[in-house]
């Protein structure tokens, strides 16, 4: 029988991806709004808000994980 594995969230990878999403969608939303395309601007703005909220959630989970683990524990990007 195989041993049960603990599921680990790739918080560092999610942090990078959410940051990229925010950095990409926010300026694009502003640019499309200034160009006169309101529907794409609204959709991109919504994606930027989702990425921002995800960043907040990720940071809260990273802080909680940091408090629960022994000092000196480091996580790779894909862990």
**Residue 2: predicted pLDDT:** 56
Please check whether residue 75 lies inside any domain of the structure: no
Please check whether residue 62 lies inside any domain of the structure: yes
Average pLDDT of the segment spanning 18-41 = 96
Please check whether residue 13 lies inside any domain of the structure: no
Please check whether residue 29 lies inside any domain of the structure: yes
pTM, two decimal places: 0.77
Please check whether residue 63 lies inside any domain of the structure: yes
Distance separating alpha carbons of residues 79 and 67, to the nearest angstrom: 17
Please check whether residue 33 lies inside any domain of the structure: yes
Count: domains in the chain? 1
- In tens, the pLDDT along 50-79 reads 999 999 999 998 888 878 877 777 776 655
- Show the tokens assigned to 22: 């925010």
Range of the domain at 33: 22-67
Cβ pair 61, 9 in contact under 8 A: yes
Please check whether residue 17 lies inside any domain of the structure: no
Distance separating alpha carbons of residues 27 and 5, to the nearest angstrom: 41
């Amino acid at each position: 029988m195989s041993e049960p594995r603990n599921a680990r969230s790739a918080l560092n990878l999610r942090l990078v991806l959410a940051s990229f999403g925010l950095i990409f969608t926010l300026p694009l939303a502003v640019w499309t709004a200034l160009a006169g395309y309101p529907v794409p601007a609204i959709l991109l703005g919504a994606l930027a808000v989702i990425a921002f909220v995800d960043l907040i959630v990720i940071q809260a989970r990273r802080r909680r994980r940091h408090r629960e683990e022994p000092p000196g524990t480091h996580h790779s990007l894909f862990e």
